[in-house]
Chain A
Amino acid sequence: MHSTTESFLKNFALLEHSLNGESELPLHQLRRRSLERFSALGFPTTRDEDWRFTNIAPLAATHFRPVLLPEPHSITPAQAAAIGYAGQSAHRLVFVNGHFAPGLSQLGEVGNGVAVGNLAAVIKADAGVVEQFIESLPATRPDPFAALNTAFLRDGAFISVPNGSIIQQPIHLLFIGAAPSEATVAHLRNLISVGANAQATIIEEYVSVGGGNPTFTNPVTQIAAGENATVNHYRIQHEQESGFHVGTFHATLERASTVNSITFTLGSAIVRNNTNAVLGGPGAHCTMDGVYLANGTQLVDNHTTLDHAAPNCTSHELYKGVLNDRGRGVFSGRIIVRQDAQKTDSKQSNRNLLLSDTAIIDSKPQLEIFADDVKCTHGATIGQLSDESLFYLRARGIGLAQARAILTYAFAEEVVEHIAIPELCDYLEALLNTRLEH
């Protein structure tokens, strides 16, 4: 275990070497501090409460080659279009192994001060902005993976929507992992700020191509929603089966803003999603939904935190899991209602479907309430497909396997139907269908 922690420390020296003068910037001090933090924390074990159901030993035991600079790749634009969401988008940013691939990306027109680009370019132009944004990520809990991400910070998406701007079409971010010859790691950082009265929709998609070597994707996405802003964020993860994915999402919401976050987890051997939102201004609303599928020996872990820090906020959370074969699901949802957050209305629900004798689910919905005039509920259910429903379908000539697939699909589809973009709905429904047919 320790040897890998050390291998990351060694890689950091390589990174410093490759920075070429950028290491003089204050931003690099932030990297150094984060590395120290990571080396102090080390990789978590199942003895840590936040990781008690998720054993990342296989991840910690793998040596990953850091991709410090953009490397040539053989992915064609047609290939990139075929492996991800192909619906209409205002901008499409493609990253390969953690670095921006301009040849595969399509940047639409930007105006009115909208900025859409890659982080490495922004660091070159104005590292101060990036540093400030990153510093705003609250380190409430010791999170070694977020620290590791900051330490190896190089590239990612940078989106800034100024006050009052509305971007109609979604912005599609496609992250491709490619490990043809050896295991690789990508630490992506996506910074998204949406100003007052502005609106944007972001699709964040993780895929992989070719090569059976494991990839380790360790992205951190930060969203800052200004007053009265609306941000829709869709995260779709369907990387290869031998991959590892530890994704952190953090949103801060100002007064009367809305953030809708939906997370689809379909791929990789071990996936951990840390999804956090701080409702910092009165009247903010956050929806946090998710669907997770685990087949084979997959492990999908969703840790969510909804932090109600201001009064009159509402939040709605629905996570649905389908566990098959030897798949393992973990759900931990925290709702915190601070002392000042009176009139909070928060609903959390976690529903799980166990389809095989060997599937396992660990669910941990939590409420921490410090204010008295609040409405908070949470619920969790774990069950199987109802015999009556199966019988109903079979009585109508539908085979058992298909009947099960239909009912399972219907179970997961509830989250998809909240999506306002029909093309994306279709895409996700197709993804779900392909997965459930197996």
Chain B
Amino acid sequence: MSTDLETIQHVTESEYKYGFTTDIDTEVIPPGLNEDIVRLISAKKGEPEWLLQWRLKAFRHWQKMEEPAWHNVHYPTIDYQSIIYFAAPKKKANSLDEVDPELLEMYEKLGIPLNEREALAGVAVDAVIDSMSVATTYKDKLAEKGIIFCSFSEAVREHPELVRQYLGSVVPYTDNYFAALNSAVFSDGSFVFIPKGVRCPMELSTYFRINALNTGQFERTLIVAEDGAYVSYLEGCTAPMRDENQLHAAVVELVAMERAEIKYSTVQNWYPGDKEGRGGIYNFVTKRGLCAGRASKISWTQVETGSAITWKYPSCILKGDDSIGEFYSVAVTKNFQQADTGTKMIHIGKNTRSTIVSKGISAGRGQNTYRGQVKIAKGAHNARNYSQCDSMLIGDRCGAHTFPYLEVSNPSAQLEHEASTSKIGEDQIFYCNQRGISTEDAVSMIVNGFCKEVFRELPMEFAVEAQKLLAVSLEGSVG
């Protein structure tokens, strides 16, 4: 496996600067973080004064905070002063020949179109330009309906009043260590605005956002759905992504007004480190949705297979009466991967409902933790929650952990939490073998059955890919 690293290193060493679609110069700034860097980032992006002040406030607050230590993941201390905070454009390989062959093999198995493979592997090719034009076509169609879908920087320029109104309204910069860091130095991200009564006609996905993949390590997403609006947003991609930034701290904010519905699906498959546990992305994400209006609905679906460390808790604040929060998750850890993920459902409004279905799969030496909170506030009459957390262990060196927190201050609430742990039984494998199904296929079949409840929630084409991804991820885990 060490050759892997070498290849990647080799690939990354070959310098080619790929320009951003935004007007940022490919200037290199020194590593480290101080107010000047924050000012510099803001200036480079040509941001208005209020945003700079907001960043500075976040930065000053971040300085006063301590890195959290309550999570069940272990990693060497991060030196925040050795990181380059300006979204330095990624170094590109010249062609697919220079890319790690194992990565290519993975693309093959997932059946990813050739041009996309190149883009995903970080090869600078014209295909990216193609997808840009695709994006433009879509944008026109969306604009007709009054939907705004653009990069965050563009939103700041074109729709400052909207950004200013909603930025930090769900995840304030004081929220947590990584959210504060993100607020201070966020590079770029997406902004979506669906006006009153509009149903977004298509899934907003990465497919035509390939050019926006370089948003860097501190991504910021803001989605606002006005009364009666509907949007389904897909983030990430099933294909493994190569990235030399070790620390990722993204923030996602969702706001759903009256009767609005936001469906947010994530497939995360960043570099998980090699088989010895070296390298890999640290993924510290703050995701939160606010069901602000009556009968609004926010649904999170995630398939997490990548990253050396995953730390994310997509949450719903159910403020509006009759609002609904959902969380469906599949998290896979293998080799030395660690995942500490789950959700928070904060019930504030009356008759609010939430559903949590979490499936954790640990293989090799992976450690998988579900950490969730269901909080019923005093005024949340007739709140209802159902949680189910199932773990599957493959191999005897891995771990599965469940830490649910149920906090109830209203007697009319009904909560159920169930968790179970199981493994793939020898008898199940034997049954399949006997019928001519290979062990590998049997495992894939059983695992897919285990995760079915979550995959069902994914948009269709994503669901198919997610199944394949799972099979590929777990390849070789059972011998």
Chain A interfacial positions (CB closer than 8 Å to B): 49, 53, 339, 342, 352, 354-357, 359-384
Docked Cα-Cα span, A369 to B416, in Å, equals: 21
In the bound complex, do residue B421 and residue A377 qualify as a contact, i.e. CB atoms below 8 Å apart? yes
For the A-B complex with A360-B409, A364-B405, A381-B415 known, give 7 more contacts whose Cβ atoms are closer than 8 Å. Answer: A361-B407, A361-B408, A365-B404, A367-B402, A377-B420, A380-B404, A383-B413
Docked Cα-Cα span, A374 to B400, in Å, equals: 11
Closest to A376 in B: B421
- In the complex, how many angstroms separate the beta carbon of B341 from the nearest chain A beta carbon? 15
Residues of A within 8 A of B396 (CB): 339, 342, 371-373
In the bound complex, do residue A369 and residue B400 qualify as a contact, i.e. CB atoms below 8 Å apart? yes
Residues of B within 8 A of A356 (CB): 411
Docked Cα-Cα span, A375 to B406, in Å, equals: 23
In the bound complex, do residue B411 and residue A364 qualify as a contact, i.e. CB atoms below 8 Å apart? no
- In the complex, how many angstroms separate the beta carbon of A286 from the nearest chain B beta carbon? 18
Scan residues 379-404 of chain B and give those whose CB is less than 8 A from a CB of chain A. 391, 393-404
- In the complex, how many angstroms separate the beta carbon of B72 from the nearest chain A beta carbon? 8
With an 8 A cutoff between CB atoms, is B422 at the interface? yes
Docked Cα-Cα span, A354 to B398, in Å, equals: 38
**Residue contacts A-B, CB under 8 angstroms, 19 given:** A339-B396, A342-B396, A356-B411, A357-B411, A362-B407, A362-B408, A363-B406, A364-B404, A364-B405, A367-B391, A367-B421, A369-B400, A370-B398, A372-B396, A374-B393, A379-B419, A380-B406, A381-B417, A382-B415
With an 8 A cutoff between CB atoms, is B423 at the interface? yes
Given contacts A339-B397, A376-B421, contact A366 B411 (CB under 8 A): no
With an 8 A cutoff between CB atoms, is B22 at the interface? no
In the bound complex, do residue B418 and residue A379 qualify as a contact, i.e. CB atoms below 8 Å apart? yes
Docked Cα-Cα span, A342 to B365, in Å, equals: 16
- In the complex, how many angstroms separate the beta carbon of B446 from the nearest chain A beta carbon? 14
In the bound complex, do residue B412 and residue A366 qualify as a contact, i.e. CB atoms below 8 Å apart? no
In the bound complex, do residue B421 and residue A380 qualify as a contact, i.e. CB atoms below 8 Å apart? no
Docked Cα-Cα span, A108 to B332, in Å, equals: 60
- In the complex, how many angstroms separate the beta carbon of A7 from the nearest chain B beta carbon? 31
Docked Cα-Cα span, A177 to B422, in Å, equals: 47
Selected contact of A372 from candidates B398, B409, B418, CB within 8 Å: B398
Selected contact of A354 from candidates B395, B404, B411, B418, CB within 8 Å: B411
Docked Cα-Cα span, A362 to B374, in Å, equals: 10
Docked Cα-Cα span, A381 to B419, in Å, equals: 12
Closest to B72 in A: A368
With an 8 A cutoff between CB atoms, is B174 at the interface? no
Closest to B369 in A: A368
Residues of B within 8 A of A377 (CB): 418-421
In the bound complex, do residue B391 and residue A369 qualify as a contact, i.e. CB atoms below 8 Å apart? yes
Residues of A within 8 A of B415 (CB): 380-383
Docked Cα-Cα span, A354 to B411, in Å, equals: 5
In the bound complex, do residue B408 and residue A365 qualify as a contact, i.e. CB atoms below 8 Å apart? no
Residues of A within 8 A of B395 (CB): 372
In the bound complex, do residue A382 and residue B400 qualify as a contact, i.e. CB atoms below 8 Å apart? no
In the bound complex, do residue B399 and residue A369 qualify as a contact, i.e. CB atoms below 8 Å apart? yes
- In the complex, how many angstroms separate the beta carbon of A425 from the nearest chain B beta carbon? 29
Residues of B within 8 A of A362 (CB): 405-408
Closest to A357 in B: B411
Q: Is the interface of B mostly helix, strand, loop or mixed?
A: strand
In the bound complex, do residue B423 and residue A372 qualify as a contact, i.e. CB atoms below 8 Å apart? yes
Docked Cα-Cα span, A378 to B419, in Å, equals: 5
- In the complex, how many angstroms separate the beta carbon of A310 from the nearest chain B beta carbon? 15
With an 8 A cutoff between CB atoms, is B410 at the interface? yes
In the bound complex, do residue B418 and residue A359 qualify as a contact, i.e. CB atoms below 8 Å apart? no
- In the complex, how many angstroms separate the beta carbon of A367 from the nearest chain B beta carbon? 4
Residues of A within 8 A of B421 (CB): 367, 369, 374-377
Docked Cα-Cα span, A377 to B420, in Å, equals: 4
Docked Cα-Cα span, A53 to B396, in Å, equals: 35
Chain B interfacial positions (CB closer than 8 Å to A): 70, 378, 391, 393-423
Closest to B397 in A: A339
Closest 4 CB pairs of A and B: A354-B411, A372-B393, A363-B406, A367-B402
In the bound complex, do residue A365 and residue B419 qualify as a contact, i.e. CB atoms below 8 Å apart? yes
- In the complex, how many angstroms separate the beta carbon of A38 from the nearest chain B beta carbon? 23
Residues of B within 8 A of A367 (CB): 391, 400-402, 419, 421
Selected contact of B401 from candidates A53, A355, A368, A379, CB within 8 Å: A368
Closest to B405 in A: A364
Docked Cα-Cα span, A191 to B385, in Å, equals: 43
In the bound complex, do residue B393 and residue A369 qualify as a contact, i.e. CB atoms below 8 Å apart? yes
- In the complex, how many angstroms separate the beta carbon of A295 from the nearest chain B beta carbon? 14
Q: Give the most central of A339, A370, A384: most B CB within 10 Å.
A: A370
Given contacts A339-B397, A377-B419, contact A364 B414 (CB under 8 A): no
Closest to B407 in A: A362
In the bound complex, do residue A381 and residue B416 qualify as a contact, i.e. CB atoms below 8 Å apart? yes
Docked Cα-Cα span, A372 to B393, in Å, equals: 5
Residues of A within 8 A of B405 (CB): 362-364
Docked Cα-Cα span, A352 to B416, in Å, equals: 11
In the bound complex, do residue A370 and residue B399 qualify as a contact, i.e. CB atoms below 8 Å apart? yes
In the bound complex, do residue A380 and residue B398 qualify as a contact, i.e. CB atoms below 8 Å apart? no
- In the complex, how many angstroms separate the beta carbon of B400 from the nearest chain A beta carbon? 5
- In the complex, how many angstroms separate the beta carbon of A370 from the nearest chain B beta carbon? 5
In the bound complex, do residue B404 and residue A49 qualify as a contact, i.e. CB atoms below 8 Å apart? no
Selected contact of B406 from candidates A355, A369, A376, A382, CB within 8 Å: A382
Docked Cα-Cα span, A380 to B415, in Å, equals: 8
In the bound complex, do residue B411 and residue A355 qualify as a contact, i.e. CB atoms below 8 Å apart? yes
Docked Cα-Cα span, A370 to B394, in Å, equals: 11
In the bound complex, do residue B406 and residue A361 qualify as a contact, i.e. CB atoms below 8 Å apart? yes
Residues of B within 8 A of A366 (CB): 401-404
Given contacts A342-B396, A361-B406, contact A382 B414 (CB under 8 A): yes
Residues of A within 8 A of B408 (CB): 352, 354, 360-363, 382
Docked Cα-Cα span, A138 to B303, in Å, equals: 40
Selected contact of B417 from candidates A49, A365, A371, CB within 8 Å: A365
Docked Cα-Cα span, A379 to B404, in Å, equals: 10
- In the complex, how many angstroms separate the beta carbon of B349 from the nearest chain A beta carbon? 17
In the bound complex, do residue B394 and residue A364 qualify as a contact, i.e. CB atoms below 8 Å apart? no
Residues of B within 8 A of A359 (CB): 411
Selected contact of B423 from candidates A352, A355, A361, A373, CB within 8 Å: A373
- In the complex, how many angstroms separate the beta carbon of B411 from the nearest chain A beta carbon? 4
Residues of A within 8 A of B409 (CB): 360
Residues of A within 8 A of B414 (CB): 382-383
Closest to A365 in B: B404
Docked Cα-Cα span, A405 to B10, in Å, equals: 74
Docked Cα-Cα span, A293 to B414, in Å, equals: 19
In the bound complex, do residue A372 and residue B406 qualify as a contact, i.e. CB atoms below 8 Å apart? no
Docked Cα-Cα span, A360 to B420, in Å, equals: 26
- In the complex, how many angstroms separate the beta carbon of B379 from the nearest chain A beta carbon? 10
- In the complex, how many angstroms separate the beta carbon of B55 from the nearest chain A beta carbon? 29
In the bound complex, do residue A384 and residue B406 qualify as a contact, i.e. CB atoms below 8 Å apart? no
Residues of A within 8 A of B407 (CB): 53, 360-363
Selected contact of A357 from candidates B391, B394, B404, B410, CB within 8 Å: B410
- In the complex, how many angstroms separate the beta carbon of B380 from the nearest chain A beta carbon? 12
- In the complex, how many angstroms separate the beta carbon of B413 from the nearest chain A beta carbon? 6
